[in-house]
Amino acid sequence: MIKTDIGYLKAPYYEQRLDSGLSVVFLPRKTRISSALVYVPVGTYPHESSLGGTKIVDGTSYLLSQMILSPSYRKQLAGKGILSRRFQDYSYSAYEVSTLGSLFDATSEILERIKTLPVEEEDLDAFRRENALFLEEEAKDPVRGVEEDCIENLFFASPIVKAKVPSLDVLKRVHASTVRKLLSESYGGMNLTLFLSGDVSVKDVMDHFASFPLRTSPKKGENVPVTFTEDFSKARKAYSESRGRQPYDLLCYGVKFPKREELFQQYGEMLFAFYEFLEDVLFTANAHFQNGILETSSDLLSTKLEQAGEETFLLLTLRCGKESALLSFLSDYLSKLEKQIDSALFTSLKEKYLAKALGRLSLPNTALEGFLKAYPNHLSYPALVHEVKRMSYRDLKGFLGNMSGFAKSASFRKGGE
């Protein structure tokens, strides 16, 4: 296996692509707990409209991910001393197992599940019945609603406007044959990356997985990519308004970033270090921002920086007191971002970030979740942390100066009377 060691992080890791096509990333840790994470580069953002002649409808990836790590299967794993978690974003689906027992036994459980998962119509019907209440409540969530409105305001044609958690009505249109097709095409050994961390040796890892049986990827059929034309220079709509049943007003303010390829050409991997900092340095840990929204009788509910394909956007969701005052403050604040931070705040947040990263890398499960965060951008977590360490106050100020000119939009949801 190929070793990479960024010395001061004390977290050397090893990488190898096996003959089966499986990519393995191993982080040795002298801990009682061991963890494994299976990464699949297929999330809720649709890159193909059809796979091998089968149309992939909205909600297919979500359903498959839920079925792989279903509540009943998680209970089975827990009975064997294995804790499990499911992650899904626009760009990936991932399945984590952690145990105080055998790392290899726990890993074999989830890999075998992916290989042998049965997908029939009755399985889909059972999932929809069991999760109907959750999906109906999600659809009614006013915060989700105002955020989806803002995303639709930002983008002209991108499929990123489709919800990460589909509605029950959308899921009813997904057939078992479509889910099986996605499983067959996207979950074969050639597409998987296996992250491992625990108190085992490199030799043990190679010996165990060198000939491990995986789902075989079929020969590539005729896959039809999703095509669209997006204007990254402006928002589709500057403002929208709707009414909800929540007892307070909501405002979501969005920033639409330029095309990912253009940003990467300008900033390289430092771009992703900036992304690690934006939410804290500008909003959650910025006294000027917090005082500004307080003066409008508003509260920050959440911040989100999302990436998929060539698209990136930032959302601020607030419980809104004085709408016009809040809109005015946000518009002014986000038009002069380079002036909203100082070197003391930057230094403090950077030190906290690096300390937290060292802590995260010390435990297998949190370390692998760090790798998961960085991997969609073709970085390891230690490499991402190193980019943050390299980042200067001047670097960040320069990026924020450019970000001040990015396209923006807002959505307002009036509360019920």
DSSP codes of every residue in 151-206:
HHHH-SS-GGGS-SS--HHHHTT--HHHHHHHHHHHSSGGG-EEEEEES--HHHHH
Domain count, the chain: 2
Instruction: Clarify whether residues 126 and 264 are in a common domain.
Output: no
Instruction: Clarify whether residues 210 and 263 are in a common domain.
Output: no
In a domain, 245, yes or no: yes
Backbone φ, ψ for residue 415 (5° rounding): -75, 165
Query: How many residues are given for the chain?
Result: 417
Report the C-alpha gap between 73 and 223 in whole angstroms: 32
Instruction: Clarify whether residues 214 and 79 are in a common domain.
Output: yes
Instruction: Clarify whether residues 185 and 246 are in a common domain.
Output: no
Instruction: Clarify whether residues 310 and 400 are in a common domain.
Output: yes
CATH number at residue 295: 3.30.830.10
Contact (CB, 8 A) for 46 and 159: yes
In a domain, 294, yes or no: yes
Report the C-alpha gap between 179 and 181 in whole angstroms: 5
pLDDT (tens digit, 0 to 9) for every residue of the chain, 417 residues total?
A: 999 999 999 999 999 999 888 999 999 999 999 999 999 999 999 888 888 778 888 899 999 999 999 888 999 999 999 999 999 999 999 999 999 999 999 999 999 999 999 899 998 888 888 888 887 887 788 999 999 999 999 999 999 998 788 888 888 899 999 999 999 989 988 899 999 999 999 999 999 998 888 877 666 667 788 889 999 999 999 999 999 889 999 999 999 999 999 999 999 999 999 999 999 999 999 999 999 999 999 999 999 999 999 999 999 999 999 999 999 999 999 999 999 999 999 999 999 999 999 999 999 999 999 999 999 999 999 999 999 999 999 999 999 999 999 999 999 999 985
pTM of the model: 0.93
Range of the domain at 177: 2-225
Instruction: Clarify whether residues 285 and 218 are in a common domain.
Output: no
Contact (CB, 8 A) for 196 and 107: yes
| Domain stops at, among 225, 253, 286 | 225
Report the C-alpha gap between 327 and 409 in whole angstroms: 10
Contact (CB, 8 A) for 195 and 39: yes
Report the C-alpha gap between 55 and 173 in whole angstroms: 12
Residue 361, CB half-sphere, CA atoms under 13 Å: how many?
25
Structure-token match 């430092």, residue found: 270
Instruction: Clarify whether residues 186 and 319 are in a common domain.
Output: no
Instruction: Clarify whether residues 218 and 288 are in a common domain.
Output: no
Instruction: Clarify whether residues 218 and 71 are in a common domain.
Output: yes
Instruction: Clarify whether residues 84 and 218 are in a common domain.
Output: yes
In a domain, 231, yes or no: no
Contact (CB, 8 A) for 162 and 330: no
Instruction: Clarify whether residues 125 and 272 are in a common domain.
Output: no
Report the C-alpha gap between 218 and 366 in whole angstroms: 34
Instruction: Clarify whether residues 154 and 253 are in a common domain.
Output: no
SS3 state of residue 297: coil
Please tell me what DSSP assigns to residue 396.
H
